[in-house]
């Protein structure tokens, strides 16, 4: 399973048992930290976090706290 813009992992955690592996793409460092925490709290050993975004070009995009 591929969860693009996974946020805190609601979909991946809900669906994880239907797949051998779930791969979560989340570029925001703060949100990815929370995603890692949620994966641990749920004992989701088949969910992986990839701290990246899918884009058509290379760019550095800053994340800011609003």
Q: Which residue has the higher pLDDT, 49 or 63?
A: 49
Q: Answer whether residue 8 shows pLDDT above 80.
A: yes
| Res 62: pLDDT | 75
> CB neighbours (10 Å) of residue 3?
22
Q: Answer whether residue 65 shows pLDDT above 70.
A: no
List the chain domain ranges: 2-50
Phi, psi of 50, deg, nearest 5: -120, 115
> pTM for this structure?
0.81
Q: In 3-state terms, what secondary structure has residue 54?
A: coil
| Res 55: pLDDT | 75
Per residue in 13-61, pLDDT (tens digit) is 999 999 999 999 999 999 999 999 999 999 999 999 999 988 777 777 7
Residues facing 47 on adjacent strands: 22
């Amino acid at each position: 399973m591929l969860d693009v813009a996974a946020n805190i992992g609601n979909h991946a955690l809900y669906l994880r048992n239907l797949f051998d592996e779930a791969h979560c793409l989340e570029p925001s460092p703060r949100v990815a930290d929370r995603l890692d925490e949620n994966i641990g709290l749920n004992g989701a050993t088949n969910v992986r976090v990839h701290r990246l975004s899918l884009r058509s070009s290379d760019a550095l995009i800053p994340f800011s706290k609003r």
